Amino acid sequence: MRGLWPSIAALSNHAVQGSAVVLAGIGLSACLKLPPANAPTGAGDGASVASEGSGAVLVPARAVADLYAPGEVRGFVFQQGDEKIGASYGRYDGPQTTEAGEVEHHFSVRNTLRVPGRAEVRTEGHMVLDDSGVLVRGWEQSEAARLEYEVRGDSLILRAGEERETLAYAASDGFMGFMSTMHEELLFALRPVRDQPWTLRVVNLSGGGATPWEARVVERDGDTLTVRTSLGEKVRLAGGKIVGIEVVDDGLLVESIDAPTFPTWTVEVAAPLNYAPAADASVERREVALAGRPGEPALAGEVLVPRDGAEGLPAVLFLSGSGMTDRYGFAGPPPVDFGSHEITDALAEAGFVVLRYDEPGHGQSEGAPLSWERQQEDARRALRTLMVQPEVDPGRMLVVGHGEGGWRGLILAKERPKEVTAVALLGAPGRSYRDTFERNAEAVRKTLSPDERARAVTQHGQLMAAIERGVGVPAELVPQAQWLKEVLDVDPAALLRGTKASVLLAYGDKDLEVNVGDAVGRLRQAAVDAGTPVKVQRFEDLDHLFKVEEKERSTPASYRERRSVDPAFLRALVAWAQARVR
């Protein structure tokens, strides 16, 4: 299992990814700092025993019933520079007595996160403690997913949909939740604050593991204590409650709100995506396994065959770009429909035998680290599988690739020139990643002061060196580190110059991810120079997914909107494909 943390926080991470605002510290604690999930997480990991330290008690531990009045609300605002980037609200809903006569204490949490140019992200949760302050159960949810947790004996069970994760849990352990300042306040209030350092094992209620946590008092001013934690925070406590937090490295400040009001909104979890063929579909679906070499991940897919078809039919292999979707183009959480099922369905209805497959770790395919070289080998496996289908004419095969999937299609066309006669590049980048990174970095540097420019040059050089070595890559890029290292210098223009297959360059002019004018100009010229037949089709109001974008420009939030692939684009793609195999 890859861990449940992405199930709850993915929506927030997706919202901040690539933002000009530095939010690399987004995570679990009050200051958005994520404890590194590098501690053992299994039920038998031998949970570390909390060390409450020695020395004098500066603030005694409190009973849960003495912390807040029923209905009391705690509110905190998050500042980064001059910008308010979010808020965290917690409410003590009060005690309740169970049928067994046990007292339980209920807490509600609601949080917001704002990123310039993006929709506000909201999360909410509910937590139950026993009369000793020990965790009992609860839930958290965002638009992306709902996560429920429950303590059973010495285990904390977390569930998100069909996923399940088990962490060791002891009564002495601390707990934190995504962006919840009240959770961190409880972390301090339920234990004595001493004048010597103390440590805890802290479990992550948003999924993703447990980690050692350390704190020590660094300053005392009357009744106010300043505590430095291993998360890089300076927490100010007064009367046992948090009044402010500072994370210097991230430029973050958290301040308590006077007389806060608990928000009235609730979060609606996005419905899961489900594929259903059209009621009048004239296509049969056949499950296939993509044969591979020993040690390669098992890949599953399906072949779409026209019902009235016979032998000798033209065929299409569809290749996705992200490497993080199932055969239908579904990704997430949060659930995103890339629309590839509509593309493959349309081609099958037009008389093509089509193969689509689940990327590793998605759908029914076995998991594997994200790798460009492995993706290319997966594409080879898929092409070999399609070639041997009894209905297929192996001399009339096309590859339709979205994004970098188009690059992989060009490689297949070079390797199999007798079989792959045409490649459609849908929204494919026009430059190598190295070239794109350098150009983007230079554009940003032009807006900076000389001192800032010098620092930016150094930081960019360090980032590129980390990618090249695969060592020291920023945490937010770690899942893609191997892929980036392998794809960094792949030049699509060079790939195009090496193939004689007919090529379609298709783009939506509101593409968020690709500089369309630059990509079209560069790739079309490469095709012309190589004598490669090329056709360019641009669609004025379509985005990177070839869906209509009503707004002036596309945004990541647009991807989460339930929209269909544009029918005019589908007709144009089908017409081009049919013309290639006549």
Between 451 and 135, the more confident residue is: 135
Per-residue pLDDT at 117:
56
Q: What angle do CA 116, 179, 324 make, to 5 degrees?
A: 70
Question: Which residues lie below 8 Å from residue 66, measured CB to CB, with a gap of 6+?
Answer: none
Distance of alpha carbon 11 from alpha carbon 162, whole angstroms: 18
3-state secondary structure 416-438: CCCCEEEEEEECCCCCCHHHHHH
Give the count of alpha carbons within 13 A of 514, CB side only.
32
Asked whether 289 and 300 are in contact (CB, 8 A), the reply is yes
- Domains along the chain with CATH numbers: 5-256 (no CATH), 283-430+490-581 (3.40.50.1820), 433-489 (no CATH)
Tell me the three state secondary structure of residue 197.
Answer: coil
| pLDDT (tens digit per residue) in 38-94 | 333 333 344 343 455 567 889 899 998 899 999 999 999 999 888 899 999 999 999
Predicted pLDDT at 116: 60
Name residue 399's amino acid.
V
Can you give the pLDDT at residue 208?
A: 65
| Per-residue pLDDT reduced to its tens digit, 11-43 | 333 332 222 222 222 233 333 333 333 333 333
Locate 421 and state its tokens: 């006669």
Count of Cβ atoms closer than 10 Å to residue 514 Cβ: 19
pLDDT single digits (tens) 360-418: 999 999 999 999 999 999 999 999 999 999 999 999 999 999 999 999 999 999 999 99
Average pLDDT score, the chain: 87
- H helices, E strands: number in the chain: 13, 27
Strands 392-402 and 313-319: parallel
The pLDDT of residue 209: 75
pTM, rounded to two decimals = 0.75
Residue 478 is predicted with a pLDDT of 83
